[in-house]
Amino acid sequence: MKVSSSLKKQLLKTNKLTFELLESGDIYKISYDDYQINLLNGNLLDGQTANIYLRIKDSKPYQYLPLIGIKANSRFKLEKNKAIYQGKVFDMRYQVTLTVLNDRWYYDVLVEPSKTINTYDLVYGQDVGIAHTGSIMSSEAYTAQYTDHSVYTGDFGYAIQSRQNQGDPQFLQLGGLGQITNYATDGFQVFGRTYKVDTKMVGLEDDLVNQKYQYEFPYLSLQSENLSGNKQNVFTFYGYYEPSRPEILRQMLKVQHNHQAVYKFIDFESNKFQGFAYDVLQPAPLPKKYIQQNYKNRRHLEKDEKGDILSFFTDNHVHVVTRKKESLVERQHGHLLISGDLLAGEDKTFASTNWMYGVFSSHVVLGNTNIQKLTGDVRNPLNIHRISGLRMFVEMAGRYQLLATPNLYEMGVNYARWIYQLEDDQIIVTAHVKLKDYVHRVSFKSLTGKTYNVIAMNQLVFGDHEYQRDFNIAIDGQEAILTADNNAFVKEKYPNLKYKFVVSDGITFGKDDVLFGEEKGHGILSFKVDNKESFTIDIVATYDEFKAYQLDLKIDQQAYKSFINNLTGYQFKHRKQQKPLNQLEDTLYWYTHNALVHYASPHGLEQANGAAWGTRDVLQGPVELFFAANRLDLIRDIILKVFSRQFSENYDFPQWFMFDQYYAIQAHESHGDIIAWPLKVLADYLAATEDLSILDEKVPFMSMTKNVWENHDATLKQHVEKTLNAIQNSFVKGTSLPAYGGGDWDDTLQPANQKLIDHMVSGWTPILLYQGLDGLSKALEGTPLGIRANTLKTRIKNDYEKHMMADDVPAGFVVFEKDHVDYLLHPRDKNTGLKLRLLPLTRSIIAEFIDSHQANYHNTLIEQHLKHPDGVRLMDTFVTYKGGEKTYFQRGETAANVGREIGILYVHAHIRYIEAMAKLGRADEAFEALFTINPILIKNHVKNAGLRQANTYFSSSDAAFLDRYEAKENFNLVKSGQVEVKAGWRLYSSGPGIYIHQMISHVFGIRYTHNRLILDPVLPDKLKGVEVLVRQFNKNIRIKYSYKDHVSGVKINGKLRPGFVRKLANNIYRPGGVEIYLTAFDNLGENILIELI
């Protein structure tokens, strides 16, 4: 069977400005050369996202109806450079005429008089991309964050100007040729958070909010003046576009208009396009005691102000979310299922993403998460596009109902379940994976045994995104197979990659013809189910031949749970503090899943693409997870893989690289700190293992020009020597301090020009280098390499103290001018408006780079200037934003959205604060900081926290300001906790692994070496007496924390074993704990009790 991905389109084109229209008249795409002006491509199921709405204003809430395309059921025709739409809304006939010119377009809306309506208005909403199509398809949300909006008033009221601040500076102005009285700039203001639940556009039920909101769904909306219903009216909206406007406008651009509006109805013959008719299911309420009866063991119960349940956790760390909570959150609930060999760090991971609002799978992929996707991504958080993902339409009372947001969404580590309550039935849909297999099952079941006709559908991509290729599918009974023949690029690397759909009896495979009567070219594989009470759809993948498999959800869930517990199965027991400890247990479980996704299948929920290892990322999240799990063997593998990517030309490392057969795809440059991470992790590994044999391992170099491996006989020791050479070559002239290069960890502060790349030094990177060199010098003490590392670290420390420290405060940056230095992000800074930077303050403590007096002062600075109710921020205030103007820092000065790094509370950095507090011995601060950024019941610890998904890592805490200007002006509200803070992007981060490491290894103080167990806790007094249970060394270990002020000794199974226990040397800030030689456990049986006294 051949499935087409070629939609039939008609072009409205003048010069390079092109509107691609579908046969329904809906706009598929607005483009100018390779630039895309709209954000979301239209299709024949959902229509276009942009539209013009007519709203009746005789009473509130306003009634509204669209005028264009499938949603309007309008007639349509093309005439030269015009598209004409006609239809009827309420009792009024209307005509919309779209006219396309070289650099602009006009919508003339002609409306006949009404016999019943007194007043109405018109709202034009336009989704905006203004970026390269590839950038938009990679991430609509990321593109949106750099799209600046500004609002001005002119002769015709409001107009909105948008500029793309990243890449080519495209420019768009939307306005009207009649009075525009109200506006909005983001789709969340118009559709509302609840749209994904009830499909009502709440922003249209009242006047537009007249607020500029810079978020992740640019949807510029203009509201016309009120129009009289008893006469004929014409109103014109326009869009004006420039592919490049480097100048940042501070006022409204005066656009000259010679447009003649269309005042007459045009007669034409045209059949209305017959779309697929369906409704979105609105479930009936659950029976009153359903939750209590079906989930008997509930914890972390989250309720709203009325007492309604929003979410909770239950047995096996399962998390359950209600429909009510989904309607309240900005970021929709989702889950990423993974299976395969999750520890190999190779191409052997199978993944699928599902969403609460009825996406039972999407982004199904074996291996490379960018290139080898079988199915595509959900492209909007509000469920506006329902063509993507595996969807189900169920026939009820003669009309199809889309299963969308359920009553309950249940997430286990290897499954998700949707529960839809009907008046006379309950429909349950379950998606699940099996740990070791490349198989994903979606099952449908009627609780009462009622039979249904169902249409399930899935849009295929077999590549990176939709509409790129047609598909040849081999149908064999209940199986539909797609091979790598469908994608030549994939076939070159993985010639035997195959995907297979396996369906239960009575299901018929089809295309999108099941929706539209004939194939339309959406690339859809459909599944027609006739009169069934239950059925399954399996998706199977392989790199060779398909194998038999068996699935059993309960058995598979327990196997997956055992796998997680074998890594991080720590249990905590305390007589009085059990609730917060349960919270840490659930977080530990889910963050292990999150960390494995980051390592084995790099992508996330908001960030659907990834596929590569970031050099610094893989050397933090996965490495620290495996340190906490005592999997030193896996850390060894990571070290060798990363060093194999070291460039033979300059001995630096790539910022990121693909780690599969697409290994030639890599960055050819990196930030200045990247080179430090391989050294640091090697030093940490050597300290834990004393495995000097790793230095003799054969590790090739990678050519950055040829993208192939060479020098295959090189040893790791030679790599380290070359790394030290490269570090020295990076020093700013006359110093032993590395140049900033392309940046450091904080992407907000990437340098804006070449001078900063070459002559600026980060206040953080030299300390990180020092830490790695210090560890290396100790691990290789007395060897030529160890002596060299020691010399180099001393030079770095001396020059840091000389150049980077002023008034006892480390500079965030220093710029070396010819005759002086400029301090940036420092009290002496006279340029940026920023006075303090977190990273040097915490890293200097972590690295024991400074003495105890300095460390305490650093902590005081953090407490006074950087600590907020929701965590520790990267700087003392926001970077100044001037509409995208770049002076010092690229992203920090070009992102229009107050989110992610721009919001300056990146959770990763807060976790490093926890590490610093543990190093200092500040137990209360370290323990509380674990909960400040913990998504479970976060409002118990952060009163101004907004609702968020509770079983998934969030990468940033974003103050809920409308834009950068409001944020800068009202930063004091962040410190006082008077502004809501929201969760940023989720799951795909090194953060979960780092969080686990800090919790286990530094707060509870449990660390492992090849022959010792280290116990070095930093716990608050309220946790004294806590017990930790873990399975390690083939023993059941129970650790009881009975000490008072600090650990002075150990009892093992009730006895002192002084010959096997050694007191740890103190770090320079606090007393150390103890280390136990593993031989102490010999002949003691399987159960070991360790009591710290």
**Catalytic residue positions?**
747
Residue 1070: exposure state from Cβ atoms within 10 A (0-12, 13-18, ≥19)? middle
Q: Cβ neighbours of residue 39 under 8 Å, at least 6 residues apart?
A: 49, 127, 128, 129, 136, 140, 143, 144, 217, 218, 219
CA distance 627 to 633: 10
Count of alpha carbons within 13 Å of 746, Cβ hemisphere only? 30
- Nearest residue to 282 via CA among 447, 399, 204, 185: 399
CA distance 722 to 650: 9
**Amino acid at site 632:** L
- Across 506-603, where does the E strand assignment appear? 507-510, 524-532, 534-542, 571-573
Question: Which has the closest alpha carbon to 279: 190, 403, 195?
Answer: 403
- Count the neighbouring beta carbons within 10 Å of the beta carbon of residue 462: 24
- d(CA 446, CA 453) in angstroms, rounded, equals 12
DSSP-assigned letter for residue 276: -
Instruction: Assign 792 to helix, strand or coil.
Output: helix
Count of C-beta atoms within a 10 Å radius of residue 690: 12
Backbone angles phi, psi at 164, to 5 degrees: -85, 115
How many distinct helices (H) and strands (E) make up the chain? Answer: 26, 65
Amino acid at 998: Q
- Asked if the bond preceding 810 is cis, omega within 30° of 0, the reply is no
Rounded CA separation 826/828 (Å):
5
Instruction: Spell 747-784 as b/e; 16+ CB within 10 A means b.
Output: bbbbbbeeebbebbbbbbbbbbbbbbbbbbbebbeeee
Specify the pairing of strand 9-14 against strand 2-3. Answer: unpaired
Q: What are the residues whose beta carbons fall under 8 Å from the beta carbon of 306, sequence distance 6 or more?
A: none
CA distance 269 to 541: 49
Supply the DSSP symbol for 72: G
**CA pair distance 640, 719, nearest whole angstrom:** 10
DSSP H helices in 295-453: 323-328
Among residues 779, 795, 655, the alpha carbon closest in space to that of 738 is found at: 795
Residue 688 three-state SS:
helix
Q: In a 3-state reduction of DSSP, which class is residue 966? A: helix
Those residues with Cβ within 8 angstroms of residue 147's Cβ, 6 or more apart along the chain or in another chain: 128, 129, 130, 131, 162, 163, 164, 165, 218, 896
